[in-house]
Amino acid sequence: MDLFEAISTRASAARLAEPGPTPEHLTRILDAATRAPDHGRLKPWRLILLDEAARGRFADAVVAARRARPPEPSEEQLNLEREKIWRSPTLVVVGCALVRDNAKVPEIEQVLSAGAAAQNMFLAAHGLGYGVMWKTGPAAYDRGVKASVGLQAHDHIVAIMHFGTRIK
């Protein structure tokens, strides 16, 4: 798909099914992320592709975060939180690992760079014909959830990005 067609037709996919991106396509999608503009060449983005075990740990952390957040959730709500993490064939968490107190590159510019990396991934996957959904939600700001994917409390999760075949 031509770049301008990809940009002008980009939209979220509410429902995603198998198959997810092939290994070759996944490499191209992740490579696209690393072409994001990057002030100071800090490479602040972290592209965390979750395999089944890592996804399970991430889902556990999301559920724990919801459990800790008022109002007290029902078991049904907790199950829904877990289920949301498993709604797609392929899940990549895009983090921003901050270099703090950098005289030249304020933190917001590092976050913007990670956001640009996420958008590059979205457009690349869309251009290859996949459906994509970019999510965050309260769990993305929880230190336990961040820790579950190797990020520190002061880092950011800028995208919980789902990939698959669009069915809606």
Ligand X SMILES: Cc1cc2nc3c(=O)[nH]c(=O)nc-3n(C[C@H](O)[C@H](O)[C@H](O)COP(=O)(O)O)c2cc1C
Interacting residues with ligand X (CB under 6 A):
11-12, 134-137
Closer residue to ligand X in complex, CB, 136/165: 136
Beta bridge partners of 163: 90, 132
Closer residue to ligand X in complex, CB, 78/111: 111
Whose CA is closest to 31, among 9, 49, 18, 50?
49
In whole angstroms, the minimum distance from the beta carbon of 59 to ligand X comes to 15
In whole angstroms, the minimum distance from the beta carbon of 13 to ligand X comes to 8
SS3 67: helix
Closer residue to ligand X in complex, CB, 27/80: 80
In whole angstroms, the minimum distance from the beta carbon of 27 to ligand X comes to 23
Whose CA is closest to 64, among 147, 132, 121?
147
In whole angstroms, the minimum distance from the beta carbon of 165 to ligand X comes to 16
Closer residue to ligand X in complex, CB, 12/165: 12
SS3 152: coil
Closer residue to ligand X in complex, CB, 30/111: 111
Quote the strand ranges of the chain, DSSP E. 16-17, 45-49, 90-96, 131-135, 156-166
In whole angstroms, the minimum distance from the beta carbon of 24 to ligand X comes to 25
What are the φ/ψ torsions at residue 158 (nearest 5 degrees)?
-95, -20
Tokens 């709604």 belong to residue? 87
Residue 139: Cβ-neighbour burial (10 angstroms; 0-12, 13-18, 19+): buried
